[in-house]
């Protein structure tokens, strides 16, 4: 359908992109709205539309999605859900398998998941009806951190873990890097048992490629036996039981956009930009720690006098001190 057939008002402020309107009404994300439009599932004033950039008047145009009229504005909902294993991250499944929608029956409104967790993975999943918010969380420029605990079918060497920092290429996702990878010790419980042969690792990433964490470890020769997402930004799963959900207030929502990275995160010199003279950093340099600015300043102050008397040994300390007093 041509854009000219859609009712327009002289006041251009009443017009809005169709995909943005669908996202604002909590139907799906902008990307999901584009897919609905491209598939011909959206009608405006009784006519199917296929143009992704089309604008509509939310007050006067009659809009339907898959035959259902677009509902009016409602209160935005933000939910933290602990997805169990063997649950599909979808609102429906043609095969009749259990989906996250089965846990949302008591939610006062239609919500959808932001991103996804594999069927055999568990952990933190954000549900919402706010399409704009979902788009912001998933956008690569936002660099929202996602933290996972994974159990491997072996024990990686340090040089193998180093490859995850430098970046590995995964199928369909290109080159991806880890922001942090560290070995952790899981507490022995009835549900979670430690093993001397299988290491647990904490890994933090900012991308959201399909099967990314599993594919990254597979690239260095290990299969992920268990995977749990424990945090998105600084919003943490905590003690929330599997299958349970909690509604998030504004303060909790804001924590999603705070990167959950420690001050001493390793930064690879090889990944830095070239020096001012244009000489690139060598790939075999050891990682250095990035400290809190206050700690760096205090450390520099302590190091200053040591550099002045670096040549003074214990044996000739008093002799050098007398020389210094004489010159003063």
* pLDDT at position 273: 42
Dist. CA 313–CA 315, nearest whole Å: 5
User: Pick from 143, 106, 103, 129: which is nearest to 32 by CA?
Assistant: 129
- pLDDT mean over 36-50: 93
Name the more confident of 71 and 235: 235
Mean pLDDT lowest for which of 60-69, 84-93, 155-164? Answer: 60-69
Dihedral of CA 92/95/100/105: which sign?
A: positive
Across 244-263, average pLDDT? 92
Output the CA torsion 87→92→96→98 (10° steps). Answer: 20
The predicted pLDDT at position 66 comes to 87
- Whole-number pLDDT of residue 75: 78
Looking at per-residue confidence, does 24 or 187 come out higher?
24
Q: Which two tokens stand for residue 104?
A: 């949302």
187: left (phi over 0), alpha (psi -120 to 50) or beta: beta
Most confident option among 14-18, 147-151, 312-316: 147-151
State residue 102's pLDDT score. Answer: 95
Q: Name the percent of the chain lying above pLDDT 70.
A: 72
pLDDT for the residue 325: 52
What is the structure's pLDDT at 266?
44
Any residues with CB less than 8 A from the CB of 152 and at least 6 apart, and which? 198, 199, 200, 201, 217, 222, 223, 224, 225
What does the pLDDT look like over 205-253, one tens digit per residue? Answer: 999 888 999 999 999 999 999 999 999 999 999 999 999 999 999 999 9
Q: Which residues contact 238 (CB under 8 A, 6 or more apart)?
A: none
Q: Residues 304-315: what's their mean pLDDT?
A: 41
Please give the average per-residue pLDDT across 3-27, as a whole number.
68
**pLDDT attached to residue 251:** 93
The reply to whether 118 belongs to the active site is yes
pLDDT number for residue 297: 56
pLDDT for residue 269 is more than 70: no
Q: Identify which of 244, 214, 208 has the alpha carbon closest to the alpha carbon of residue 227.
A: 214
Q: Answer yes or no: is pLDDT of 24 > 90.
A: no
Q: Which two tokens stand for residue 45?
A: 């004033």
Find the catalytic residue in 34, 66, 102, 118: 118
Compute φ and ψ for 321, nearest 5 degrees: -65, -40
In the chain, what percentage of residues exceed pLDDT 90? 54
Mean pLDDT of the residues in the chain: 80
């Amino acid at each position: 359908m041509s854009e000219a057939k859609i009712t327009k008002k002289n006041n251009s402020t009443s017009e809005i992109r169709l995909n943005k309107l669908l996202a604002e009404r909590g139907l799906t994300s902008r990307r999901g709205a584009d897919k609905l439009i491209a598939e011909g599932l959206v009608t405006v004033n009784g006519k199917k539309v296929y143009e992704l950039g089309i604008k509509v008047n939310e007050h006067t145009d009659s809009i339907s999605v898959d035959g259902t009229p677009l509902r009016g504005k409602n209160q935005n909902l933000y939910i933290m859900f602990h997805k169990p294993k063997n649950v599909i991250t979808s609102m429906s499944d043609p095969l009749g398998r259990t989906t996250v929608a089965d846990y949302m029956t008591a939610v006062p409104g239609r919500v959808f998941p932001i991103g996804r967790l594999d069927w055999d993975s568990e952990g933190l999943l954000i549900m919402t009806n706010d399409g704009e918010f979902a788009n912001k969380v998933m956008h690569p420029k936002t660099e929202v951190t996602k933290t996972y605990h994974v159990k491997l079918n072996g024990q990686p060497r340090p040089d193998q873990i180093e490859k995850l920092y430098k970046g590995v290429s995964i199928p369909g996702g290109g080159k991806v890097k880890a922001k942090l990878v560290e070995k952790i010790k899981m507490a022995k419980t009835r549900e979670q048992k430690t093993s001397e042969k299988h290491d647990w690792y904490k890994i933090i990433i900012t991308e959201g490629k399909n099967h990314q964490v599993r594919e990254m470890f597979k690239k260095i020769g290990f299969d992920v036996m268990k995977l749990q997402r424990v945090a998105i930004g600084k919003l943490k799963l905590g003690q929330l039981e599997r299958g349970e959900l909690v509604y998030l207030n504004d303060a909790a929502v804001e924590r999603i956009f705070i990167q959950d990275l420690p001050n001493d995160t390793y930064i690879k010199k090889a990944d830095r930009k070239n020096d001012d003279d244009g000489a690139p950093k060598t790939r075999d340099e050891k990682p250095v720690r990035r400290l809190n600015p206050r700690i760096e300043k205090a450390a520099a102050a302590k190091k200053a006098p040591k550099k002045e008397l670096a040549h003074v040994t214990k044996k000739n300390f008093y002799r050098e001190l007398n020389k210094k007093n004489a010159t003063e």
